[in-house]
Amino acid sequence: MSIAYDQTLDVKGAKCPMPLVKSRKAVNELPVGQVLKVIATDRGSVADFQGWVKTAKNVELLAQETVNEGGQDLFVHYLKRTA
């Protein structure tokens, strides 16, 4: 997937709720309009990020993808700070 992004957040190995807690913090530090790529190993993050952006005030979920890296599933989320 060719989504342009500005920063990367690696939360591999982090369990719920930490992928989302750290993403929230990283989005807060992101300039408005920029995109954060989050890489997680927690499968639950896929549905949780979809639910989160519905209630979040300034975050848009541009895309999600699952990539397999060395036998391990990585769940990748592209978050844009909108305001």
Partner 1 sequence: MTITEGQTAVAAFTPAELYARILRDEPLFILDVRNEEEFRRSPIEGRTNLTTVNIPYFEFIEDEEAAAARVPTDREIFVVCAREGSSQYVAGVLHERGYQARYLEGGYVSWGNFYDVRDVVAADWGRIVQIARPARGDLSFAVISGGQAALIDPMRHTEVYRDLVAAAGATLTHIFDTHVHADHISGGPALAEETGATYYVHAYDAIHPIDMLPAVIAYTHVQEGDRFQIGAVTITARWFPGHTLGQVNYRFDAPDGRSALFTGDGIFLRSFGRPDLGGKGEAWTPILYRSITERLPRMASDDTLILPAHFSTLDEGSAEGIFAAPFAEVRATNDALRPRDEAEFTSYVLSHLPVFPPEYVEIKRVNIGLVTPCDGTANELELGKNICALSNA
Residue with structure tokens 């060395």? 70
Instruction: Give the nearest distance from C-beta 64 to partner 1 in angstroms.
Output: 14
Number of residues that bind partner 1 (CB under 8 A): 17
Residues 47-66: x/- map of binding to partner 1 (CB under 8 A)?
A: xx-xxx--xxx---------
Instruction: Give the nearest distance from C-beta 38 to partner 1 in angstroms.
Output: 13
**Is 16 labeled as catalytic in the residue annotation?**
yes
Residues 6+ apart with CB under 8 A from 7: 26, 30, 34, 35, 36, 37
Give the whole-angstrom CA distance, residue 20 versus residue 9: 11
Q: Does 17 bind partner 1 (CB under 8 A)?
A: yes
- Which of 7, 24, 41, 74 binds partner 1 (CB under 8 A)? It is 24
Q: 65 near 35, Cβ under 8 Å?
A: no
